[in-house]
Structure 1
Amino acid sequence: EVARQQRLLLAACRRIGRIDLLLAKGRLARKTGWCVPELLDQPQLVLEEFVNPEVSSYLAHEDRRFQPLSLRLGLPVTVITGANMGGKSVALRSAGLAVAMAQMGLLVSAKACRLSLREFVYYSQQEENPRQGLSTFGTEIHGLARVLPLRGQRGLYLLDEPARGTNPWEGAALVKAIVDWLLTGNSITLVATHFPGLSEVDGIDHLQVAGLKGLAAKRQGIKAQDLKLLQELMDYSLVPGKGEVPRDALRVAAFLGLAPEIVEKASQELGISPQEVLEK
């Protein structure tokens, strides 16, 4: 008898699941007070003080606080530059999460969220795929080869340091070509990169991580390799870019206890004094 009623039982289970989901959405809305996303006709994604729930929960266990993210994206391409540990990857993932939350009918964990609907969201994969015999770079290119032809659709590309798995010379050229390709599409693209020159391409908006501030004044007496304090000193805000790629890598390396002789040698290669590394 149960087998004969299989279709009805499965349909009832799906309806119960749907009701449960709606109730969960309602409970979440009452508990959090998150915002109702506003839908736009023009291709944009605007976030005001977005808090990534997953990252925020993780930080709370360490008695730390997520710095709210604000950004404005439009057609065609926006580039984010900044030091490692500056929150670029979190910014990309947060943008994708905000779109997913809005389009799944959830409130968005932000003060305000305005967006146009996206037909797809793509986040570039940066992991090896041993089963297919692909390196990190191979896995990334395999994915891009499938999704870049969709540039004519109303999508959202989130490219997290593309081509970082190959040599810098070819990597920079490849990323430049990918960005040129996306400049003529209908998708919104957000690219995080360390490659110089990309932010100066015509038609590209440039944001950069505010980065480390006042580090020299706080450096004295601070225990080297104090990762938690370094994160507290980092300003993760996205501000209008200045054209050049920010250079905080040596400052981070020095702060985390890399041998002073190595930092000094690297500074000489860049034509700056070791003191400038901390005083910027």
Structure 2
Amino acid sequence: MVSSPPGMEITEENKFKGSMFISAFDELIDSVGKDAESETEKVLDITFAAIGAASSLAMLAMDPFGTLLGAGIGWLIEHVSFLKEPLDQLMGDPDEINANVEATKKTAVDMRTLAETHRNTLAQPQGWTGQSSEAFKSNMESLGGELDSLANAVEKKAKIVAICGVLVSVLRDIVRDLISQLLGSLLAGAIAAAAAAFFTFGASIVGFVGFAVGKAVALGVNIASRIAKLVGAISRQMGRIKNLDEITEQVGKGWKRFENVADVAEVSYESWKAQNKVDKAVDKVGG
């Protein structure tokens, strides 16, 4: 844990987060092992990480002072609580998103484990024969397949949640970097305009204000467009989750069959086990 000043939370993992061109290279490295999904192509562009690294270097070359100021502003946004909270409220807290993804993945693993456990135990009654036994085994085998289907559905849902998390988290970083770069550039421009004000009789400040307003409006349009794409993608992903829910609901409806045949078979199996225990006890006494 890195020593953190009051109001900041700095760790080894996040100490460089928000520093734009440094963070962009980290994102480029992380993206190498990840498959691109259709929604990431639509919202972020498949080559986003590479573009992020290249564009950060380009900005550094064109506006070194503004880019460095922007890197510092981005770092502050990620680490100073009262600057970070508004961004989290707008685009979501990455830590909460990751926690949701991990919880969904765990549910998928638990469901898969349940299916495997069922297949290896309940669906394999030992020493029990007859019509009721066959009915029980048939239903239990079907149930095992249905549990597998549910596990697959939950795994797909976990994947969708993970993709949504990537979309939100990466777009959040884009918005942060766009704001940081604008503020860094405007701060550098304001310093230059103020320095030239004496020689231009204030005209440099007037010109800078017009420039700043134009840049801010353009950035607002840019961010609004990106958020609109994100909203569309999330809506489509929610539609996919709804489809998965409908499938699992249909699987659940099939379990109504256990209200009759399977219940009778299970009672028969339990009765057989009880009778078998009695027979063994009698044999033991008689032996």
TM-score, structure 2 length as denominator?
A: 0.23
Higher strand share: 1
* Larger-Rg structure: 2
From the two aligned structures, give the one with the greater helix fraction.
2
Greater relative contact order (Cα < 8 A, sep 6+): 2
TM-score for both structures, normalised by structure 1 = 0.23
